[in-house]
A and B are shown apart, each in its own frame.
Chain A
Amino acid sequence: MAQVLSPEEIGDILDKPKKGSMREAFGETLVRLGSELKDIVVVGADTTGSIKTSLFGAKYPERFFNVGIAESNLVSVAAGLGIAGKIPFASTYAVFAPGKCVDQIRNAIAYPEVNMKLVASHAGISVGPDGASHQELEDIATMRAIPNMHVVIPSDPNSTSRLVEILARDKGPYYMRIARPDCPFIYSAAQASSIRKGGSMTVRDGSDATIIACGLLVYEALIAARKLATENSLNVRVIDMLSIKPIDEMAIIKAASATGGIVTAEEHNVIGGLGGAVAEIVVENYPVLMRRIGTQDTFGESGESGELMIKYGLTASNISAKILELKNLDRK
């Protein structure tokens, strides 16, 4: 499997990180697509400035609706727009949607397979100082358990733009989660354009073990892989699992068979998220040892984003430690 990034490019990303915002990428992409796809409509719930959908509202006020602090209404109004033939994007913070409206998403959107896109920002613990009430760590599990629902997670601004475009052009219910903090670019726009519906990206090839990550943890995985190469002479594959449902089964099975061990890493509870999804494929097809990095069935707390990622083990050093743990078990 060809890797997406060359060793030099990975070096540049890690040594000279260029940062950007997933939220801005989301808002700007909606504006760009809005001129071509006249059916795109955007519904917000008093968080449109923060999530940058207000950019769309400024350009296309007749296709922009702010329903206030009313998330059940947010997703259901978007469902009605979808039923009537529009391409609705509804968005707010992940704790509120899907957090407060799983019923509406299940019954009014996924069950009748409505063409509706829910984009939730501020997912995960990296929300920071707002604390546990605002740190959604269960959304991947709830959304992927609902039939008909697609679940996608970008890892940087350019993959965010690419996924928004895929959502806009594909029919059906989608859930996309993005993170609050600025984050390093991983892909150029050209590289991101090779992201496909239901596909993953092998950002670094390797044969000794595999890290399968999503969201902000993809960058941590690249740091971990370089450390393992220089300090332990291990050549580790890194897969960015941009689509959790449907999930790239072939990439997972190949990783299991070619590298013999998998560590997953996500900014989500270890129950039911990316780790669970990968484990389901691994045990049924090519059982290998796995470790799952995520929050360990616990709520978060207030703190700076970076501090929380360290405290809850969502770091490159924890990823590399888990890879070594697998390799040591291997030798026994």
Chain B
Amino acid sequence: MILETLVEARSGHPGGSLSAVELVVALYYSVMKHDPKRPTWPERDRFILSKGHAAPLLYSVLAQQGYFSLEELKTLRKINSLLQGHPDPRKTPGVEMAAGSEGIGLSVGIGEALAAKIDNKDYRVYVMMGDGEMQEGQIWEAAMCASKYRLDNLCGIVDRNGIQQDGLTEQIMPIEPLASKWKAFNWNVIQVDGYNFEQILEAFNAASQMRNKPTVIIAHTTKGKGVEFMEWSPEYHGKVPDRKSIETIVKEWKSE
């Protein structure tokens, strides 16, 4: 569905949308307290897609959950659409914050988590970040801040797919050792296989049990997951495959 949406839009970021499917599905179908009929329900858990270029993934899940009709997906990136190229909370029901400029979402999540603490509310805040996004300095400002305020209601997720627009993260600007970095900032760090639902759900559960520390889940994933020619290919960070290739892929998936 993500790929069909992107082909319809003729532009977008397929790789980073496909790598994190299982993580976002786990959150919306199992982990988070939310209600598609009441997108602004004050008690809802919050999901912030800081890597805003994965908007097609978020939109697909929100549509499946009933936040808006599946038909809307065909309008992605087109004029007058509810579905902007990057998330816009004023246009799209269920979108928590505007994203697209990398590095901001974790700080915004801190603000929402602090508000929950002030009000004694038990909602949780989830922030999904890209691994290339770890290169933004603001991530580490936020990392310090969240542990200072012991935000155990905040859970970061790093989609560790290893690739950014110009190439491999470890060639462009190495972010390893990533887990040690987060540990050094006094976070609870959990590493999972980003396609193993059991591990993913266990990690979210462990994060919710943690007290006095924020948790980051480093999910090891594959950019362009499920599409052989896109996997591990930086080219597909911001390029959409042609319609014919997509049709072949979708046919293969459906016959599996």
Contacts and interface: CB of A to CB of B under 8 A. Distances in A.
Nearest to A106: B101
Contacts, number: 104
Interface residues of B, number: 30
Interface string B72-97: 00000000000000001110000011
Contacts of B141: 67-68, 70, 72-73
A108 interface: yes
A76 interface: yes
A81 B104 contact: no
User: Main secondary structure on chain B at its contact with chain A?
Assistant: helix
Interface in A96-132: 103-104, 106-108, 111-113
B93 to A, nearest CB: 14
Q: How big is chain A's contact interface, by range?
A: 20 to 34
Given A62-B118, A65-B114, A76 B104 contact: yes
B108 A79 contact: yes
A82 B98 contact: no
Contact of B138 (A62, A68, A76, A106): A76
A68 B143 CA distance: 12
Given A70-B145, A72-B137, A76-B104, A108 B110 contact: no
Contacts of A85: 42, 115
Chain B CB within 10 A, most for which of A80, A85, A88: A80
B115 A80 contact: yes
Given A67-B141, A80-B113, A81-B115, 18 more contacts: A41-B118, A63-B118, A65-B114, A67-B145, A68-B145, A72-B103, A73-B138, A73-B141, A80-B111, A81-B112, A81-B114, A83-B96, A83-B111, A86-B118, A104-B138, A108-B98, A108-B107, A112-B90
Interface of B: 42, 88-90, 96-101, 103-104, 107-116, 118, 137-138, 141-142, 144-145, 149
